[in-house]
Amino acid sequence: MLIEPHGGRLVNRVLNETWRKKAIDNASKMAEIRIRDDTITDIENIAKGVFSPLEGFMGESDFENVLNRKSLSSGLPWTIPICLDVTKEEAERLEIGEDCVLADSKGTISAILHLEEKYYYVKKEMAEKVFLTADTKHPAVAKIENMGAVLLGGKIDLVNERFDPYRRYNLSPRETRVLFKEKGWRTVVAFQTRNPVHRAHEYIQKCALEIVDGLLLHPLVGETKSDDIPTDIRIKCYETIIRNYYNSGRTVFSVLPVNMRYAGPREAIFHSLVRKNYGCTHFIVGRDHAGVGNYYGTYDAHYIFDEFDPSAIGIQPLFFEHAFYCKKCNGMASAKTCPHPSEDHVFLSGTRVREMLRRGEIPPKEFTRPEVARVLIEGLKETEI
């Protein structure tokens, strides 16, 4: 039997065709709110159950509890606010209890919001409590500065889903649960990444796979930083490494269409709960999970789990230290297993690897698989043409 979704029920706010046509017919009578692409991503994740138990954008009680207690008002663990912001002027023309159209920049309807609340919030407080900094150099803090002054709360119904170029790999929580059941997997470990898989990642994943039935390689393909490797190149890398180095009978590859928040420890909890909704029983938490710059300690994403009742989280975190290739051990290792000094370890920074790839140089095989490096070299050449 698969693990229960967070809160016990997988949310579904996707309108069937009958109700979708009614919503479209009635849309002209509703107030319209234009929303950003990242908000549309949140809407689709709410509707498909990725963010279960959320059925819409957070009201004030849930918002305040997430900021101050890392839980929803029900007491259920939750660490990232899922918000819909508007300007004060926009909020003043909306009435509590009415339905509103949420549309993209071109006016295409994304969803219907059943407006339940309008409330003010303090941007600095949100930044400091969620991201542990008010420094606008932090990408998420910079986004908060540009948000509207009022937040709207209420359930949503998804009307139109955007075209998804990665649909064949974008399995919903319902789809992964069916797949895991068909495979007979009772225990599944998820691996979070926004980068191509290198040897340290591979080592960690395969260590975890030794203790469970299957691996969900689950890279994030929502909004990320501008200097991250483009999604289509990363997908080719994942396809290549799985084809050549993974047991296909024990590995599922699917993308996670969630925006990166760079909230460090709080995001480690959030990513765990999301994978629980996908049917995973274990989640790999590595070094500096969801970190950016120097805003979080190297293993803060491990320590935050101590603040929660494991039964309330429900998914088992697997903590791994930084892995590397040791020339003396003649294999992959970590500080837990390797007795040799750092000069015997092969470690390259992401910046240095990108520089090598752009020059057409294949990094050491101890760092990355040559097949993956070749995909990266060709992909980066194409992006620079």
pLDDT tens string 252-269: 999 999 999 999 999 999
Instruction: Indicate which CATH number applies to the domain containing 227.
Output: 3.40.50.620
Residue 189: CA count within 13 A, CB half-sphere: 20
Residue after which a domain boundary falls, among 116, 140, 158: 158
- Average pLDDT on 217-222 reads 89
Domain limit, last residue, from 119, 141, 158:
158
Tokens 């319902």 sit at which residue?
Answer: 174
153 in the same domain as 290: no
pLDDT at 385 over 60: no
User: Which H or E element spans position 234?
Assistant: helix 231-245
Residue 139 pLDDT > 80: yes
Q: Are residues 204 and 347 in the same domain?
A: yes
Residues 367 and 231 in one domain: yes
pTM of the model: 0.94
275-334 pLDDT, tens digit per residue, is: 999 999 999 998 889 999 899 999 999 999 999 999 999 999 999 988 999 999 999 999
Our count of domains for the chain comes to: 2
How many CB atoms lie under 10 A from the CB of residue 94?
A: 17
Known active-site residue 199? no
Kindly state the tokens that stand for 294.
């120097």
**174 an active-site residue?**
no
> What CATH number is associated with residue 125?
3.10.400.10
Find the domain containing 139 and state its range. 17-158
User: Is residue 39 located within the same domain as residue 139?
Assistant: yes
147 shares its domain with 195: no
pLDDT band, residue 384 (cuts 50/70/90): low
| CA pair distance 271, 335, nearest whole angstrom | 25
Per residue, what are the HEC states of 25-82?
HHHHHCEEEECCHHHHHHHHHHHCCCCCCCCEECCHHHHHHHHHHCECCCCCECCCCC
Same domain? For 138 and 193 the reply is: no
Is there a single domain that holds both residue 215 and residue 193?
yes
Say if residue 194's pLDDT is above 80.
no
DSSP category for residue 327: T
Average of per-residue pLDDT across 357-363? 87
Active-site hit among 174, 195, 250, 374: 195
Assess if residue 69 is contained within a domain.
yes
**Beta carbons of 296 and 264 less than 8 angstroms apart:** yes
What does the pLDDT average to over 240-255?
Answer: 95
- At residue 106, does pLDDT exceed 70? yes
User: Which is catalytic among the residues 36, 162, 186, 194?
Assistant: 194
Residue at which a domain ends, from 136, 158, 180: 158
CA angle 232/237/243 to nearest 5° reads 125
Q: Is the pLDDT of residue 273 over 80?
A: yes
Torsion (CA) 76, 79, 83, 87 in degrees, nearest 10: 130
